[in-house]
Structure 1
Amino acid sequence: MINTLLRKAKRAARPDFWLFKWQRSVTGLPLRKASINIIKRMVGNRPVAGTKTLDIPNVEEHILSLKSKGFTNLGQLLSQSQVEAIKAALKNYKCFDPHNRAVGQFDPAQAPLTCHTAHYHREDLIKNDIIINIANDNAILKIVQEVLGAVPTISNINCWWSFAGRSKAEHAQLFHRDVDDFKFLKLFVYLTDVTSTDGPHIYVSGSHDINKATQIRRYQDDEIKATFGEENIKSFEEPQGSLFLVDTFGIHKGMLPQKNDRLLLQVQYSLLPLYVESYQPVNLPAKNKLDHYVNRLLLKQEN
């Protein structure tokens, strides 16, 4: 309890924390869009080069889908060997429950029954070549940059287990909007097969650009169906190795798995750093050729 209070007090003492609070207070679309236009001019735009990791055709179609629907399905782009290599690396790392840090670190196979999601530490994930190369893929960066309208920042890399068999949905397993930054996209990578009973990502098509249900809270299914129409609710049921990009300011949730645990990798691209985060860049000399600005929050780079 004392450690939690100290952590909150330390965070509140940082100026960027109050920038984050201000950003969260701007929920209506007209003011958010006006703020986005100002930030885009501040950040600026230029060509960004990345890695050649994924084979993504029809880049322009993905850009149009993101702008109009708020999501685009990139397809099953990772091979089984790539997926297994990521999983093998994860076996070396411990997890934590972001909603109950008091339980400490644990092996996901021994997660407490009260834990709905077990997250890996970002500093561990960054060290994986496959993960950092996916995050910096040329086509992904091109799509993201075009949609954001400025040079993107990789502001987070996350990976977590969502456990089946829990009694009820909690937290992000209920419909909500993300307000991590004024403008951002998230790349989702399924590392397990996901069917309707394995906790698929659920997204309301077009809701990223509809000025309804903008209050920061959790929404019940009936509310969302009544507001946006059940026909606009999209369920991402895909095999392992599948990727999709989503504007999660749009209404979404991760279903509570009923049958099998779900393992998901996520890369976040934003206009600004996530001011609620505390970054500790990792020194990976082999990755010095990656764009310094795009990776500045995660990687130390030597001149």
Structure 2
Amino acid sequence: MEYAQLTPGRRFAPLHSLLYYSQRVVTRPSLRRLVVRALSSALRWREGSGEGLYAGTAEEEAALLQLTHSGYAPLGNLLDPAQCNDIQAHLSNKLLIDRDRVRDAFTLQQVPASLRVADYQLRDIVTCPHILALANSPALLGLAARYLDCKPTISALGLRWSFPAEGDSSALQAFHRDSEDWRYLKVLVYLTDVDEESGPHVYLHGSHLARAPMRLRYYSDAEISNDYAPTMLLTATGTRGFCFAVDTAGIHKGTAPSNHPRLMLQIQYSLLPSYAYRYAPEDYPGPLVLDRYVNRLIIKQKSLADTDRPLL
């Protein structure tokens, strides 16, 4: 997905900048909770509560409780090996974009030796089997609706390879916080087996509840280990198809793989669009009939009702 230009310069998006930084400058948790409560109430009035999106099972309640208190909740293997094979087969000839430097796009068979992190393009993600079905599944939409207390918006959808490489890690592989919206969560899905040497996601337990600095920054491994007990760091490992939910307003990182590359799907659910992005929904030719409001930033589907409503 393309990032919006939030500072003055070519393609500067002043409205995006204003809306993005308006939530960045409010750092007190109590004030943020007030704004979130007001926004979720307005969205429930406008779009409904999203109660029809979830079943409220014991497993969903446990995941919600864990996500609320820890910031991290394992969800189990929501894709099976055959579905992961389908996804990788679809992507085998699709182009990747280097996240760290400007260079021509390339396929998985043409990966440069120095590459660390690369993304697939949205148009290839929305046509990939199983991904939109998973992102719109009752289990995930239900968790998002409960966590946000309103009908969620899918505000980002990405597929990323992380590769073992010599030299310094990518900035994306250092501890940091995200600031995507007033309130949001991400569901991360491993599409390859991930062990300690394959770039597991690491999350600092409970850090989403702490006050974040106005100016976001990176944290060194030494700084984290000096300030927090090892038991506070939650490392997500699992076989392909393993899913987990995280509130990435907390401190986290994707570890740099040391032995095996990692392919990971990211689905972001939020109250509002993430104004860090410049949205360009892709045509969706598939058979799924998806909720237009939930998916409005990601896909265009003419068969859905309310086609004349604005995207944002």
* TM-score > 0.5, shorter chain as reference: yes
Provide the C-alpha distance between the structure 2 equivalents of 1:286 and 1:212, rounded to a whole number of angstroms: 41
**Corresponding residue for residue 120 of structure 1:** 120
Q: Relative to 1, partners in 2 of residues 1:177 and 1:106: Cα closer, same or farther, differing over 3 Å? A: same
Does 1:266 find its partner at 2:266? yes
Q: Relative to 1, partners in 2 of residues 1:222 and 1:183: Cα closer, same or farther, differing over 3 Å? A: same
Give the counterpart letter for 2:50 in structure 1: P
Give the counterpart letter for 2:275 in structure 1: Y
**Corresponding residue for residue 129 of structure 2:** 129
Provide the C-alpha distance between the structure 1 equivalents of 2:285 and 2:95, rounded to a whole number of angstroms: 25
**Corresponding residue for residue 105 of structure 1:** 105
Deviations 1:69-110 (A, max 9, x none): 11110112311110000000111310101332x202111332
**Corresponding residue for residue 217 of structure 2:** 217
**Corresponding residue for residue 298 of structure 1:** 298
Provide the C-alpha distance between the structure 1 equivalents of 2:191 and 2:157, rounded to a whole number of angstroms: 14
**Corresponding residue for residue 68 of structure 1:** 69
Contact 2:161 2:262 in 1 (8 A): yes
Deviation at 1:10, TM superposition (A): 4.7
**Corresponding residue for residue 91 of structure 1:** 92
Deviations 1:230-266 (A, max 9, x none): 2110111111110111111111000010001111111
Deviations 1:170-212 (A, max 9, x none): 2121111110111111111101111111100000111111226
Provide the C-alpha distance between the structure 1 equivalents of 2:69 and 2:197, rounded to a whole number of angstroms: 28
Contact 2:204 2:252 in 1 (8 A): yes
What does 1:40-59 correspond to in 2, within 5 Å?
40-44=40-44, 45-47=48-50, 49=52, 58-59=59-60
Give the counterpart letter for 1:90 in structure 2: L
**Structure 1 residue matching 2:9: 3-state secondary structure:** helix
What does 1:248-267 correspond to in 2, within 5 Å?
248-267=248-267
Contact 1:29 1:211 in 2 (8 A): yes
Contact 2:75 2:243 in 1 (8 A): yes
Provide the C-alpha distance between the structure 1 equivalents of 2:107 and 2:175, rounded to a whole number of angstroms: 28
Identity of aligned residues (%): 35
More displaced stretch, 165-174 vs 149-158: 165-174
Contact 1:93 1:124 in 2 (8 A): yes
Deviation at 1:213, TM superposition (A): 6.2
Provide the C-alpha distance between the structure 2 equivalents of 1:265 and 1:61, rounded to a whole number of angstroms: 23
Segments of structure 2 that go 5 or more residues without pairing to the other structure are 306-312
Segments of structure 1 that go 5 or more residues without pairing to the other structure are none
RMSD of the TM alignment (CA)?
Answer: 2.4
Provide the C-alpha distance between the structure 2 equivalents of 1:221 and 1:213, rounded to a whole number of angstroms: 18
Deviations 1:7-49 (A, max 9, x none): 9735423412321133233334233223222221222242355
Does 1:165 find its partner at 2:168? no
Provide the C-alpha distance between the structure 2 equivalents of 1:51 and 1:62, rounded to a whole number of angstroms: 13
**Structure 2 residue matching 1:9: 3-state secondary structure:** coil
Q: Relative to 1, partners in 2 of residues 1:75 and 1:217: Cα closer, same or farther, differing over 3 Å? A: same
Higher helix share: 1
Q: Relative to 1, partners in 2 of residues 1:81 and 1:210: Cα closer, same or farther, differing over 3 Å? A: same
Provide the C-alpha distance between the structure 2 equivalents of 1:160 and 1:85, rounded to a whole number of angstroms: 16
Deviation at 1:226, TM superposition (A): 3.4
Provide the C-alpha distance between the structure 2 equivalents of 1:50 and 1:125, rounded to a whole number of angstroms: 23
Contact 1:11 1:17 in 2 (8 A): no
User: How many residues matched?
Assistant: 295
